[in-house]
Amino acid sequence: MKRKSALLWGLVILLCGTAVGLAVYKSTSLGVPFLPGQRQNAWTVEATVRFDANGREVEVELGLPPLKENSEVRQEVASLGYGYQERNLVGQGRRGIWSARSRSGVQRLYYQISLAEEDLRSLGEIKSSAPEVEPSRIGGSESEMLARETLRKECREKSANPETFVTQLWSRLFGESLSQEAGFLRRSYEARIGEGWEMSLLQDFLQMEGIAYRKAWGVILNETLGSQKPVPMIEFYDGRDWEAVEAVAAREAGELVVWSRGDSLLDVRGGNNSQVFFTTIRNMAPLEATDALRNAPAWIGSIAALPVNERRVFRYIALIPVGAFMIVVLRNLVGFNMLGTFMPVLLALSFLEIPLAPALLMFSALLAAGLFFRFFLSRLNLLVVPRVAACVVVVSLLMIVFGLFSWRMGLTVGLEVTVFPMVVLAWTIERMSILWDEEGAGAAMVQAGGSLAAAVLAYLVMRIRTVDYWAQYFPELLLILLAGILLIGRYTGYRMSELIRFKSFVKS
Amino acid sequence: MKSKWWHRWFLTPGELNRLGVVGINARNGRYLLPNNPRKFYRSVDDKVMSKRLAIEMDIPVPELYGTIESPGDLGKIAKLVKGKEAFVIKPARGSGGKGVLVIQGRSGDAFLKGSGTSLTMEEVRFHAANILGGLFSLGGQRDVAMVEQYISCADEVMAMSYRGAPDVRVVMLHGYPVMAMLRVATKESDGRANLHQGAIGIGIDLTTGITHHAVCHGHPIEIHPDLNSELLGQQIPDWDTVLKLAGLCYEMTGLGYLGADIMIGKEVGPMIIEVNARPGLAIQLANGEGLRTRFQIVHDEALRMQRTASLEERIDFSRGPLVQKALQTKASLAEAAR
Rounded to an integer, what distance in angstroms lies between the CA atom of residue A361 and that of residue A363?
Answer: 5
**Domain for residue A32, yes or no?**
no
Rounded to an integer, what distance in angstroms lies between the CA atom of residue A316 and that of residue A281?
Answer: 13
Between strands B110-113 and A266-269, the pairing is: unpaired
Residues A158 and A96 placed together within one structural domain of the fold: no
Q: What is the pLDDT of residue B324?
A: 92
Q: What is the pLDDT of residue B239?
A: 94
> CA B204 → CA A498, B163, B168, distances in Å?
23, 21, 9
**Domain for residue A298, yes or no?**
no
Look up the pTM and report it.
0.76
**Domain for residue A256, yes or no?**
yes
Domain boundary among A217, A252, A283: A283
Nearest by Cα to A116 from A68, A76, A47: A68
Residues A147 and A115 placed together within one structural domain of the fold: no
Residues A107 and A220 placed together within one structural domain of the fold: no
Residues A338 and A404 placed together within one structural domain of the fold: yes
In this structure, the dihedral spanned by the alpha carbons of residues B243, B249, B251 and B254, taken in order and rounded to 10 degrees, is: -130
Residues A361 and A486 placed together within one structural domain of the fold: yes
Rounded to an integer, what distance in angstroms lies between the CA atom of residue B54 and that of residue B61?
Answer: 7
Side-chain-facing half-sphere of B209: CA atoms under 13 Å: 15
Instruction: Give B241 to chain A, closest Cα distance, Å.
Output: 29
- State the DSSP H helix or E strand holding residue A42, giving kind and residue range, or none if neither: strand A42-54
Q: Do B290 and A491 touch (CB under 8 A)?
A: no
Per CB-CB distance under 8 Å, the chain A contacts of B219 are 504
Q: How many CB pairs under 8 A join A and B?
A: 97
If you write DSSP's letter for every residue of B61-130 in order, what string do you get?
-PPEEEEE-SGGGGGHHHHHTTT-SSEEEEETTB-TTTT-EEEEEEETTEEEETTS-EE-HHHHHHHHHH
Q: Do A384 and B9 touch (CB under 8 A)?
A: no
Q: What is the pLDDT of residue A40?
A: 61
Per CB-CB distance under 8 Å, the chain A contacts of B285 are 501-502, 504-505
Rounded to an integer, what distance in angstroms lies between the CA atom of residue A47 and that of residue A110?
Answer: 6
Q: Are A327 and A337 in contact (CB under 8 A)?
A: no
Q: Span B63-149: which CATH code? A: 3.30.1490
> CA A428 → CA A294, A433, B135, distances in Å?
42, 8, 13
Rounded to an integer, what distance in angstroms lies between the CA atom of residue B9 and that of residue B24?
Answer: 20
N- to C-terminal Cα separation, chain B:
8
Residues lower than pLDDT 50 in chain B = none
Residue A411 identity (one-letter amino acid): L
Q: Are B115 and B197 in contact (CB under 8 A)?
A: no
Per CB-CB distance under 8 Å, the chain B contacts of A493 are 13, 23, 25-26
Please name the residue ranges forming H helices in chain B: 13-18, 24-26, 33-35, 41-45, 47-56, 76-80, 121-132, 155-158, 239-253, 282-287, 292-304, 311-317, 323-337
**Domain for residue A385, yes or no?**
yes
> Tens place of pLDDT for every residue, chain A, 508 residues?
567 788 999 999 999 999 999 888 888 888 788 887 655 677 888 898 999 988 888 999 998 887 776 667 778 887 778 889 888 877 677 888 999 888 888 888 888 888 877 777 766 556 566 677 777 777 778 888 888 888 888 888 888 888 888 888 888 888 777 788 888 888 888 888 888 888 888 888 888 888 888 888 888 888 777 788 888 888 888 777 778 888 777 777 788 888 888 888 888 988 888 889 898 888 777 777 777 777 777 777 677 767 777 777 788 888 899 999 999 999 999 988 888 778 888 888 888 877 888 888 888 888 898 888 888 887 777 777 788 888 888 888 888 888 888 878 777 667 777 777 787 788 888 888 878 877 778 888 888 999 999 999 999 999 888 898 888 888 889 999 999 999 998 898 999 998 888 887 765 5
Query: At A1, is the secondary structure helix, strand, or coil?
Result: coil
* CATH code of the domain covering residue A66: 2.60.40
- Chain A's closest residue to B217, CA to CA, is A501
CATH 3.30.1490 segments of chain B:
63-149
Rg of the Cα atoms in chain A: 29
Instruction: Give A10 to chain B, closest Cα distance, Å.
Output: 19
Residues A274 and A248 placed together within one structural domain of the fold: no
**Domain for residue A295, yes or no?**
no
Instruction: Give A363 to chain B, closest Cα distance, Å.
Output: 24
Q: What is the pLDDT of residue A301?
A: 66
Residues A382 and A483 placed together within one structural domain of the fold: yes
**Domain for residue A375, yes or no?**
yes
- State the DSSP H helix or E strand holding residue A45, giving kind and residue range, or none if neither: strand A42-54
Q: What is the pLDDT of residue A118?
A: 75
What's the CATH fold of domain B5-37+155-337?
A: D-amino Acid Aminotransferase; Chain A, domain 1 (3.30.470)
Residues A323 and A471 placed together within one structural domain of the fold: yes
- State the DSSP H helix or E strand holding residue A31, giving kind and residue range, or none if neither: none
Q: What is the pLDDT of residue A123?
A: 63
Q: Are A350 and A359 in contact (CB under 8 A)?
A: yes
If you write DSSP's letter for every residue of A212-240 in order, what string do you get?
-EEEEEEEEE-TTS-SBPPEEEEEEE-SS
Residues 6+ apart with CB under 8 A from A28: none
Residues A463 and A322 placed together within one structural domain of the fold: yes
**Domain for residue A90, yes or no?**
yes
Nearest by Cα to B130 from A321, A277, A430, A489: A430
Rounded to an integer, what distance in angstroms lies between the CA atom of residue A258 and that of residue A243?
Answer: 10
**Domain for residue A297, yes or no?**
no
Residues A217 and A328 placed together within one structural domain of the fold: no
Rg of the Cα atoms in chain B: 20
Q: Do B21 and A500 touch (CB under 8 A)?
A: no
> Where in the sequence is the domain holding A85, given as residue range(s)?
42-122+270-283
Q: Are A338 and A324 in contact (CB under 8 A)?
A: no
Strand order in the sheet with B87-91: B64-68, B145-149, B87-91, B101-107, B110-113, B118-119
Q: Are A486 and A12 in contact (CB under 8 A)?
A: yes
Report the domain count for chain A.
Answer: 3
Q: Do B9 and A500 touch (CB under 8 A)?
A: yes
Between strands B257-265 and B219-220, the pairing is: unpaired
Rounded to an integer, what distance in angstroms lies between the CA atom of residue A161 and that of residue A243?
Answer: 12
- State the DSSP H helix or E strand holding residue A23, giving kind and residue range, or none if neither: helix A2-29
Q: What is the pLDDT of residue A91?
A: 67
Residues A317 and A275 placed together within one structural domain of the fold: no
CATH 3.30.470.20 segments of chain B:
5-37+155-337
Residues A151 and A215 placed together within one structural domain of the fold: yes
Q: Across the interface, which of A383, A494, A500 has its CB nearest the CB of B13?
A: A494
- Across A206-358, the runs of DSSP E, i.e. the strands, are 213-221, 231-237, 242-246, 255-261, 266-269, 271-283
* Ramachandran sector of residue A178 (left: φ over 0; alpha: ψ -120 to 50; beta: rest): beta
